[in-house]
Chains A and B, each alone.
Chain A
Amino acid sequence: MKRVFPILGILTAALLSYALYEALIAAPTEQTMGNVQRIFYYHVASAWTAFLLFFINFGASVAYLIRRNPIADAIAVTTAEVGVVFCTVVLVTGPLWARPVWGIWWTWDVRLTSTLVLWLIYVSYLMLRRFSSSGQTPLLAAVLAVFGALDVPLVYFSIWFFRTQHPQPVIGGGGSIDPRMMHVLLLNWAAFLCFAFLVCWSRYRLERLQKDVEEAQALESMVQPGGTR
Chain B
Amino acid sequence: MTDTDATHPSSLSPVISVNNLVKYFGRFVALRGVSAVFDAGRMYALIGDNGAGKTTFLRALAGLTKPTRGSISVLGNLDIHSVCRYFGYMAHPSLLYDEMSGVENLRYFSRLYGIRNDQRCAEVIRLVGLDPQLARPVGQYSQGMRQRMSLARVVIHDPKVLLLDEPFSNVDVSSAREIVELLAQMRDSGKTIVVVTHQAQLLEGAADEFVWMREGQIVSRTSDSQSSRREPEER
Contacts and interface: CB of A to CB of B under 8 A. Distances in A.
Interface residues of A, number: 11
Nearest to A216: B27
Interface in A134-186: 134-135
A221 B26 contact: no
Contact of B33 (A214, A217, A222, A228): A222
Interface in A204-229: 214, 217-218, 221-222, 225-226, 228-229
- Secondary structure of the B contact surface, majority rule: strand
A134 B32 CA distance: 19
Interface in B1-58: 22, 24-29, 32-33, 51
Nearest to B65: A135
Contacts of A228: 27-29
Interface residues of B, number: 15
A218 B33 CA distance: 12
B20 to A, nearest CB: 11
Contacts of B110: none
Contacts of B22: 222
Contact of B26 (A214, A225, A226): A214
B192 interface: no
B166 interface: no
Interface string B191-235: 000000000000000000000001111000000000000000001
Interface of B: 22, 24-29, 32-33, 51, 214-217, 235
Interface of A: 134-135, 214, 217-218, 221-222, 225-226, 228-229
